[in-house]
């Protein structure tokens, strides 16, 4: 087995630039999701009473608002999880 050792300057190692590129839809922790920033979209999502898949929900939102305003399926899923958790917390506090 052969081992290769790379000599790094400590200053370069500590102050190197991040390797990844920032996604344009990336939101740092604590910031609101794209759905939360769009009250019309949020109201539309909460007005749907019939059960459906996240993909079906996204398709309905795209028909209503267009692709630019609608998040990805995974982002919608995260929003729905957060909304469900907040509703459950409110119900628990009311008891």
The whole-number average pLDDT for the span 5-29 is: 52
pTM listed for this prediction: 0.65
Question: What is the pLDDT, as a whole number, of residue 92?
Answer: 86
More reliable by pLDDT, 12 or 73: 73
Beta strands in the chain (DSSP E): none
Model confidence over 28-87: pLDDT tens digits? 567 788 888 899 999 999 999 999 999 999 999 999 999 999 999 999 999 999 889 988
One-letter-per-residue 3-state SS of 52-79:
CCHHHHHHHHHHHHCHHHCCCHHHHHHH
Residue 67 has a pLDDT of 92
């Amino acid at each position: 087995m052969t081992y290769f050792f790379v000599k790094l300057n400590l200053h370069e190692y500590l102050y190197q630039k991040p390797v990844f590129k920032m996604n344009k839809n990336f939101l740092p922790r604590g910031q609101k999701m794209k759905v939360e920033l769009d009250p019309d979209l949020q109201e539309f999502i909460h007005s749907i009473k019939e059960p459906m898949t996240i993909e079906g929900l996204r398709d309905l939102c795209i028909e209503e608002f267009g692709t630019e305003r609608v998040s990805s399926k995974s982002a919608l899923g995260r929003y729905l999880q957060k909304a469900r958790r907040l509703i459950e917390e409110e119900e628990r506090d009311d008891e």
